[in-house]
Amino acid sequence: MTAVAFPNSFSVPMTMLLAIGSHPLLAQDGEAVQDVEDRISMLFLASYPFWVVARWGIGFPVLTGALSFEQWRQKVLNPPVKACLLSLPVALALQHAHALQSWGVSFDFFQPVTTAVGYAGRCSVPLLLMALGSKVDSISAEIWDTRGGPGEAPKANYQALLIPSIASRGQHADSESGTSETTGNGSDDPKEKSEVNGNEAPSVPSMPLRGHLAVLLLRQLFGALLGLLMAYLVRRFCGITDHVVLMTLLLQSCGPPMINLSVMAGVSGSAQRDSAKLLLITYAASVFTWVIWMTIYLSWL
């Protein structure tokens, strides 16, 4: 449900729309290309906080199985939602900072804090891509092994490489189960790993391939058609004919599932492998679906 409801609505569609900013359908009435690109960036940045609140306020509780209002209330105020709520007063304060500086108020003592926050913001996206790439690589190796390759190479523990505390916990667990290999518990089978000292932990079934294909169909076919219907209704009944606005709406509806799906699965500790496999399948297909839907949308405009 979360993968179908929340597409990649910021980074990829904004980049693709900026790439065609000089198209005659977008630059209307002699508008400069730079002005078109500025409006594209403004529209995506204005909608991004609403997407973040919706993803983490609705999608994350749904992904983690919050069935009651009490469970939803406990999970809705997560760090991304708090960051969006905190950014509003911070932005308002920064708008009035110039007026205070004209009165002789100095903000130099905030320079270390702003520098640290700036570097943290620049590092967050590369770290997210590294973690996502490690999961996708693990899933790719798993899919390749199921095809009966010549031999299975040992898989790297990417989580231990990214987070040292995980490696230390893994070493501690290995020291406690030193005799697991001799007792038959050293297998990679999750069921065998869960059987320790005669106690069998319940295993969570993984999503079958038809489930991944169903998400691909719903998200990148029916979702794109729904976006086209919404754009038609907006243009017909609301009188919005700005092609940049309409293309922004359309491209935000036809993409694959959001990349934050992998982050949510890692935070909740559930469906991590399924989310990585789902992102691998949908983003591989999006190479073709993006081109097809952009061509259809431009012809419709």
The pLDDT score that the predictor gives to residue 216 is 94
The pLDDT score that the predictor gives to residue 223 is 94
Unique residue bearing structure tokens 């490489």: 161
Specify which of 145-149, 173-177, 196-200 reaches the highest per-range mean pLDDT: 145-149
Share the mean pLDDT of the chain: 77
The pLDDT score that the predictor gives to residue 106 is 66
Do 162 and 126 touch, CB atoms closer than 8 A?
no
Residue 193 has pLDDT above 50, yes or no: no
Name the residue with higher pLDDT: 78 or 55.
Answer: 55
**Tens digit of each residue's pLDDT (9 = 90 or more) over 261-277:** 888 887 777 778 888 88
Do 2 and 63 touch, CB atoms closer than 8 A?
yes
Which of 239, 238, 268 lies closest to 71 in space, CA to CA?
A: 268
Q: How far apart are CA 269 and CA 272, in angstroms?
A: 7
- What pLDDT band is residue 94 in, cutting at 50, 70 and 90? confident
Q: How far apart are CA 251 and CA 234, in angstroms?
A: 15
pTM metric for this prediction: 0.71
Do 84 and 74 touch, CB atoms closer than 8 A?
no
Specify which of 27-31, 57-61, 93-97, 219-223 reaches the highest per-range mean pLDDT: 219-223
The pLDDT score that the predictor gives to residue 297 is 93
Calculate mean pLDDT across residues 171-194: 46
Ordered by start, the domain boundaries in the chain are: 2-178+208-300
The pLDDT score that the predictor gives to residue 174 is 47
